């Protein structure tokens, strides 16, 4: 006997963009991603644009892709979008070797990461308070 799960259609659609194979470590990406979570999309893009870190260019591409997905697939208003979640995970690590003295070799690890950015649309909150 299998029970069928009821799917709640009232939930908002998840707008996300995943960028696999970013040539940077998770350790370097995490502080940048934590800095954009909760911000409106245009503010987050500006923050990434004026950051001095090299990898922000790839994160900005992923964020722009998520915005394009929201606009094209779900007809969301760009001005109301904000970054709900942004996280990264480990991928492969390229292993290279550098020659050293006395015939030895030192390993060089070149890590790759995957970045996922999830957007959501802000809801209008109606206030029922009175003016003072």
Confidence of residue 8 (pLDDT cuts 50, 70, 90): very low
Q: Beta strand pairing status for 105-121 and 15-22?
A: antiparallel
**Predicted confidence (pLDDT) per residue in 11-68, tens digit:** 567 788 999 999 999 999 999 999 999 999 999 999 999 999 999 999 999 999 999 9
Answer whether residue 10 shows pLDDT above 60.
no
Answer whether residue 7 shows pLDDT above 70.
no
**Domain edges within the chain:** 15-121
Q: What is the mean pLDDT of residues 74-98?
A: 92
Burial class (CB in 10 A: 0-12, 13-18, 19+), 81: buried
109 CB-side CA count, 13 A: 8
Question: What CATH number was assigned to the domain covering residues 15-121?
Answer: 3.90.470.10
Residues 6+ apart with CB under 8 A from 8: none
């Amino acid at each position: 006997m299998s029970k069928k799960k009821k799917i709640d259609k009232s939930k908002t659609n998840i707008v996300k963009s995943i960028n696999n194979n970013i040539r940077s470590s998770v350790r370097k990406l995490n502080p940048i991603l934590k800095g954009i979570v909760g911000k409106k999309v245009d503010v987050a893009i500006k923050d990434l644009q004026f950051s001095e870190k090299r990898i922000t260019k790839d994160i900005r591409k992923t964020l722009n892709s998520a915005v394009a997905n929201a606009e094209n697939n779900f007809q969301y208003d760009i001005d109301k979008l904000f970054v709900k979640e942004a996280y990264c995970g480990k991928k492969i690590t390229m292993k290279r070797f550098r020659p050293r003295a006395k015939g030895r070799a030192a390993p060089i690890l070149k890590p790759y990461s995957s970045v996922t950015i999830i957007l959501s649309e802000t809801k209008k909150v109606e206030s029922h308070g009175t003016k003072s």
